[in-house]
Amino acid sequence: MRTRFFTRVDALALYAAPLEQTIKEYKYGLKDGSQGWGVIFGRLIVGWLEANQDLVADIDLIIGNPTAPGRAPLQHIELMMRAAHVEDGLDRWPIAEPNSPILIKTRETGKSAGKGWPEKMEAAREHAAALKLRQSVEGQRILLVDDVFTTGSQFHTVGKFLIETGKASEVRGLVLARVPG
């Protein structure tokens, strides 16, 4: 029997045109000025939190699934989370302080984009092995934010890390887009 390390993953939208192309342009810097999408995505995250207060009222901490240090052209998740933190000017939501991240990725790892299930799972395990907690999350209910949910392999391995290593009590997910199916 497989153990689930997250209880639910919500998505702002489906990963389909035109959002799919927009996320790719943002994530990989395919167009000049695509960084601006980070601000928009951060605002969308806060809008989703406001619209779904009943689903997140008991969340203790909101963190992004971190990208590698020095990732080029940008650390896209960190940019989104900084924008969400700024958008939440009233500090209504427990979005982690972006200048002192709680969860960091210590090194670059293999990519999973465009790969099959076994390769995605291996990349997810490698990603989780590169994570480090910079403060305790013991007993906390965490909302983990990421860009795209395809197979769930990365949420599984990061959730496992947060629960087994960090002793979080629960991990839920929120993504910009979820692959249909």
Indicate the SS3 state at residue 20: helix
In-domain check, residue 100: yes
In-domain check, residue 1: no
Compute the average pLDDT of residues 137-142.
98
Model's pTM, two decimal places?
Answer: 0.95
The pLDDT value recorded for residue 7 is 78
In-domain check, residue 4: no
Compute the average pLDDT of residues 106-127.
90
Question: Which residue(s) pair with 149 in the sheet?
Answer: 178
Q: Which residues contact 127 (CB under 8 A, 6 or more apart)?
A: 105, 109, 154, 157, 158
In-domain check, residue 3: no
In-domain check, residue 56: yes
Compute the average pLDDT of residues 106-131.
92
How high does pLDDT run on average in the chain? 93
Domain at 147, CATH number: 3.40.50
pLDDT in tens, 48-100: 999 999 999 999 999 999 999 988 888 999 999 999 999 999 999 999 999 99
For tokens 């939501």, name the residue. Answer: 93
| Structural domains of the chain, count | 1
In-domain check, residue 123: yes
In-domain check, residue 132: yes
In-domain check, residue 169: yes
Domain that holds residue 80: 9-178
Compute the average pLDDT of residues 143-163.
95
pLDDT in tens, 13-50: 999 999 999 999 999 887 888 889 999 999 999 999 99
pLDDT at residue 3 tops 80: no
